[in-house]
Structure formats: structure tokens, C-alpha cells
Structure 1
Amino acid sequence: MLSSSSEPQLPGVTVTSVLLMASIALGALFGLLLPAGGQWLGERVDPTLLALVTLLFFGVRFGALVQAVGNLRFLGIALVANFLLVPWIGYCVASLFLADHPLIMVGLMIYFLSPCTDWFLGFTRLSGGNVSLGTALIPLNMAVQLLLYPWYLQWFTHNAVQVEAGMIGSTLLQWFLLPLVAAVVAHQLLRLCLGAARFERVLHRVDQATPWVIALLVMEIFAANISVLMAHRAVFVWVLLAVFAFFVLTFLLSEGISRLCRMRYPEHALLTMTVAARNAPLMLAITMAALPDQPLLYAALVIGMLVEFLHLTALRRLLLTARHRFPPAGSPPVDNGSAPFLGPEGVTSRSSPGRS
């Protein structure tokens, strides 16, 4: 992870990907060689989940919504794309590739349904997109996807897993609403007590810790469930193909919307990244709490998260290559100066003091 004063570089993406792959390998080896130890790790999932959720919520800037009032048109377009159009694309793709494997299909659907609430902003910055406007999408995407999660499961799972709306509601209250309130209160109190400069250092430490917590959770999943996952290893080739198809279709969607709405390049880059990036860490945490003992669902989410880094890196290059198609003059300058940098959802290197 780079410091906030450094120029963004792509190796941070590679480091995060390597960390996740290493956690999968270590968890799998541990579960195969020491099954009892793997089960012991699996019993530690709940506190790891709670720590991850709290860290993810702690860095969210809900105050950014107030600053985006003048961009309601773009926010509306992004919401329609992320929560109406992309879910149907995801459903069609998952149904096409994994209809014969309903549990894995549900995991893939959960991955497809939820737009990213942080790391897309780092890639938006690297692509020359509108970072300030993208900051407002973080709390908006998070709030809407948490509210829609129970309904999505009812609409798209087709009874592949037992889903009780009341149980999911109570789970969201216990595991997410209460940690959300606690994290936001702690965020505001620490910001007031420590001052802007010292609070930024706290946020930076949180940023550094979060990918390790995600890696620990992934290791626990694979250590406790490696036998089940190995029995279905051939199916995960289809998961990779489905994720690739989803990314291609969402790219075409963002291109079409941008042309139809005649967006400037900064908003085009932002829309492309928010439509492409998914909120795998938060969805993994929610799904493990709401749908326990479903390792195939969790594995589909983890695989999607790994492929996503490579896709967003390639997408950045495509955007920069096609930038000449947009008018070079006559548009306001792109705000690149106050963006969080790359990291998992809620994992950023912040560069501007006074965040709230």
C-alpha cells in the first residue's frame, strides 16, 4: 500500500491479489494437512467477520453525499445502472453458466449484485475520472445494497438456499446496522478529538489492517471447508468464465450509457469503474452471517474478487487509450487530489485532511 503522498502505482493491486491467493493456499494446505486445525480456524470466523465489518464501515464518508447535491443526474444514472441493469445482467450470466450448480450460482449472483464501495475510486483516480463525485457513491452504494440484500436473495435464489426475510433482517441488524452505527460514531468522535492530521494517520492504519483481516477470513473459509471445495473444483472454471462474461457485458453497458447520456470523460471513467467493480468483501461478510455453512457460495465470491483486480487494471488501460475520443477542452478539470487510493472495500490511502 502506498503512502498518501506517493503517486499511485499499480503494484498495490498486485500485492493485494498475491495476499488473497496466499491466504487461499495457506488455508487449503492447513485444512488438508491438519483437518482439526482447519475446523478450529473455522470456529474463529465470527470475530473475524465482526472486525472486518467494523473496519469497512469506519472509513466511509457519509458527509460526501451533501457535497454531491449538484450532481443528482449522474448519481441517478449510476444507481439505475448498478441496482437495476447490472443485477439483470448478472442473473442472466449466472443462469447461463451455472444453472446446474445452484449454490455456486447464488454465490456468484451475490457477487454480481453489489457495487463496490471503495476500491473502484482508486481505479477511477488512476483513469483520470471524477473522484470527488465518486466519493459520494460510496455511502450511497453501501446503504442501497444493504437495504436491497434481503430482496435480492428472495428474487434471484429460486429457493437454492433457505432464505427467511425475517432472519436476514435480524442478521443485518445485529451484524451490520449496529456495527455501522458504532463505527460511524467512533469515526466522528475520533476525528473531533484527534484533529485532522492525526485522524488521517488512524485511517491509514485502518487501511493497512483491512486487507490482512480479509485474508485471514479467506484463510479460515478455505481451511474449514477445503474438502467440500475440492469436490467441486471443476465447477470453478465455469465461475471464471461467468465472471469474465459479466465484466465484458458491464463494460459494454457503461459505454452505451455514457454515449447515450453524452457524458464527459471524467464521469464516463467513473461510471465505467463503479459498474465494473463489485463489493466482494462486504458481501462475503454479509453472506457468511446471513447464510451460514455454505462454503460454495463463499468460494464463488472470493474467486470473483481475485479476477476483479486484473479486470479493473485492464479497464484502466482501455479508458486511458480511448480518452482522446472525448473533448479535450471546455470541461472543468478533473478532481484527482482527494481520492482514496487502491485497496479492498474500505481499504484506502487517504490524502486529504478533514474527512468526515
Structure 2
Amino acid sequence: MTHLEVRPLERYQLVWYLFAIINGIGFGLLLPSFADGLAQLTWPLLALLLYSTFTQIPLQSLRSAMLDRRFLMLAVCGNFVIVPALVFALLKLVPAEPAVQLGVLLVLLVPCTDWFITFSHLGKGDSRYALAFAPISLILQICLLPVYLWLFVPETFAAAVVQKQMLLAFAGLIVLPLCLAYFTRTVVDRYSSSPSLMDRLAVWQVPLLAIVMFIISASQVSLILDSGALLLQLLPVFVLFALLALLLAAMLGYLGRLPVLQWRVLAFSFSSRNSFVVLPLALALPAGYEMTVVTIVFQSLVELFLMALFVWLVPHLFFKRTN
């Protein structure tokens, strides 16, 4: 496991995303027809974004990542057993609109594999464990997300949304970039002693996501403005989820007698979600499910504010060693 260096773009990514969303809304109001044309760029930009992100996840290190089995067992159990049960319970607080509920399920069921590493580092956790858990988390969530949707979504609803376009988006914008990223890392690790290519790809994550948020805000501006009251109803749900995730990290860290630096990694892993990995699936939904996309983008924005708070809060909450 390697040491993480936090780049300036990552440290101030919240500012970039806010800037992108605000300017996207303004652009969509001033030039709505041009904003609709920009929406066609969303797919290639998402493919590049996910490829860039996946290259930073050390899939080749899966074997060595299994060394600390106690931490990994708690991380897997928390993220893929307890958190889904928590999401299902919180769904009762979500407005009974299918597109919104689907957005909440998509975004809260899958743990983050990218910026949670950065925030674990900024929050004085041991980022080596975050890096080790990332590839395991990514593989498990890709395999388990269909299972969760099958469990939590009514059969008739699932038949309406899981169509050819959604399956193509999953294959083309998640599986294909993941395979290309694995190939890239394999080639670079084998034939190059310089990490410069990986560094260049990593730098593109924040600007690419900012551009995607700009385009979505511009093309969905009317829906965003009309849904203000609905989004305000979702705000306490997303905040409550993050706070309960912190409580879950505290409980599992205590029961598992983890070192404090690992407690902190659990806290950021449980409370941060993989919003833009599920975004292609939401964008591929049939007409009438635009609120699913808006819900996912809104959750990611709320989460970024909370992560900025947790960077200060988590070191103060988890400060005693348990072994």
C-alpha cells in the first residue's frame, strides 16, 4: 500500500463542483437550446471520468489488500450488509415518487471508491487502508447492485426501468472503462518505472466531474428549479444517513477493536457514496425518470459539504486507540 498525496484540485473540489453547478444553472437559463445540445457530451465525458477514476484503484493489489482481514471484514460487512439495510429503512422517509426513490437507492447503496480515499487522508485516517479497500469495494458493488435493486425495487417497477439502454450504459460506461483501466495499470506497472501517466490521469478526475455537473445542471435547470421543495425533503434524509454512518463506524470500530486510524477510514467509507459511478445508469433510464439524475447529483453535493465537515469532526470523534 502506498502513501497518498492530496492534490490541490482534490483538496478544493467542493469549490469547483459548486462553481460548476451554479454556472450550469445560469447557462441553462440563458441559453437553454445550447445547453440541451451540450447534454450529448455527457456520455463520452462520463466514460473518460470513470476510466480516469478506475486507473487510480489498484486492482492488481487485491491479494495484498486481503492482509488485514479484520479491517476488511468490518468494511465489507458495514458497506454491503448493514448500510443497505439502513438505506431500506430510510427509504420510508423519502417522498413516494418512483424516480426519486430509485435515485436514493442507486446513490446510497454503493460505497465511494475515489474521493473517500482523499477525505480519509484529510481526516487523519490511514489512507493505505482506504486504498486497499477500494478495489474490493468496486468489484463487490458492481456485482451486488443488481441484487440490491432486485430486493428493494418492486418487480413491475424494475421491469419498467431496467431496459436495454441501462444495460448498455452499465457495460459501456462501467465495465469497459474498468477493463481498460486495469489494462492500463498492468502495462504501466510492468513496463514503466515512472508514475507520470497515472498522475496525469488522476489530475483529470475533478475537472471532468465538474464539467459533467455543469452540463447536467444546464440541461436539467428547469427540473432542478421546479424540484426545490422536493430536494429540501431529501436533505434531512441524506444528512441523517451520513450521521448514522458515523455511528455505525464507531460501533464496528469499537466491537472490532480497530486502531483509531482505521476507525476513521470506516467513517469516511460508510458515509460517502459512489454517485458518479451510478450516474450513467440513471442517465440511461427512460423518459420520466429525470429526477433520478437530479437526486443523485443533489446527494453528491450534500455529501461534499458533509465531507468537508467530517474532515474536522472525525478526528475529534475517533481519537482514542482501542488496542
- TM-score over 0.5 for the alignment? yes
Shift of 1:164: 2.8
Q: Does 1:164 align with 2:162?
A: yes
After superposition, where does 1:301-316 map in structure 2 within 5 Å?
301-316=296-311
What is the match of residue 281 of structure 2? 286
Quick check: 2:71–2:258 contact (8 Å CA) kept in 1? no
Matched, 1:276 2:271: yes
2:99 paired residue number: 103
The residue that corresponds to 1:113 in the other structure is 109
- Map of 2:188 onto structure 1: 190
Q: 1:223 to 1:323 in 2, by over 3 A?
A: closer
**CA distance 1:245–1:106, shift in 2 (3 Å):** same
1:207 Cα deviation from its structure 2 partner: 1.8
Give the equivalent residue in structure 1 for 2:208. 213
Are residue 37 (structure 1) and residue 51 (structure 2) matched?
A: no
Partner of 1:43: helix, strand, or coil? Answer: helix
The question of whether the paired residues in 2 share the 8 Å contact of 1:150 and 1:165 is answered with: no
1:44–1:121: structure 2 CA closer, same or farther, 3 Å change rule? closer
Is the partner of 1:63 in helix, strand or coil?
A: helix
Q: How far does residue 216 in structure 1 lie from its aligned partner after superposition?
A: 1.4
Alignment partner, residue 258 of structure 1: 253
Matched, 1:242 2:253: no
Answer whether contact 2:43 2:280 (CA < 8 A) is retained. no
Alignment partners' CA distance in 1, 2:242 and 2:190: 41
Counterpart of 2:126, as a letter, is: N
CA contact (8 A) 2:10 2:118 kept: no
CA distance in 1, matches of 2:227, 2:157: 17
Deviations 1:280-325 (A, max 9, x none): 1212233324667733111211122122223223323233224443
What's 1:19 paired with?
16
For the residues of structure 1 that align with 2:4 and 2:55, how far apart are their CA atoms?
A: 22
SS at match of 1:192: helix
Residue identity (%): 23
For 1:292 and 1:14, locate their aligned partners in 2 and report how far apart those are by CA, in whole Å.
Answer: 36
Evaluate the alpha carbon distance shift between residue 319 and residue 20 of structure 1 in structure 2; reply closer, same or farther with a 3 A threshold: closer
Query: Is 1:56–1:282's contact at 8 Å kept on the other side of the alignment?
Result: no
1:181 is aligned to 179
Report the Cα offset of residue 40 of structure 1: 0.4
Deviations 1:233-280 (A, max 9, x none): 211111211111111111111111112222221221121111111111
Does structure 2 conserve the Cα–Cα contact (< 8 Å) formed by 1:42 and 1:224?
yes
User: Is the contact made by 1:171 and 1:290 (CA closer than 8 Å) also made in structure 2?
Assistant: no
Q: Summarize the alignment of residues 221-232 of structure 1 with structure 2, pairs less than 5 Å apart.
A: 221-232=216-227
User: Residue 191 and residue 263 in structure 1: after superposition, are their counterparts in 2 closer, same or farther (change >3 A)?
Assistant: closer
Name the structure 1 match of 2:46: 49
Q: Is the 8 A contact 1:121 1:131 kept in 2?
A: yes
Tell me how large the CA RMSD over aligned residues is: 2.5
Superposition TM-score, scaled by structure 1 size: 0.81
1:298 matched to 2:298? The reply is no
**Secondary structure, counterpart of 2:113 in structure 1:** coil
Distance 1:36 1:170, change over 3 A: closer
Aligned AA for 1:101? E
Does the 8 Å contact 1:103/1:160 carry over to 2? Answer: no
Contact 1:32 1:223 (C-alpha < 8 Å) held by counterparts: yes
Q: Does 1:75 align with 2:72?
A: yes
Aligned counterparts, 1:83-94, within 5 A: 83-94=80-91
Unaligned runs of 5+ in 1: 332-356
Paired residue type of 2:92: S
CA distance in 2, matches of 1:291, 1:136: 37
TM normalised by structure 2 equals 0.89
Structure 2 Cα separation of the partners of residues 274 and 44 of structure 1:
30
**Residue range with higher mean Cα deviation, 179-188 or 139-148:** 179-188
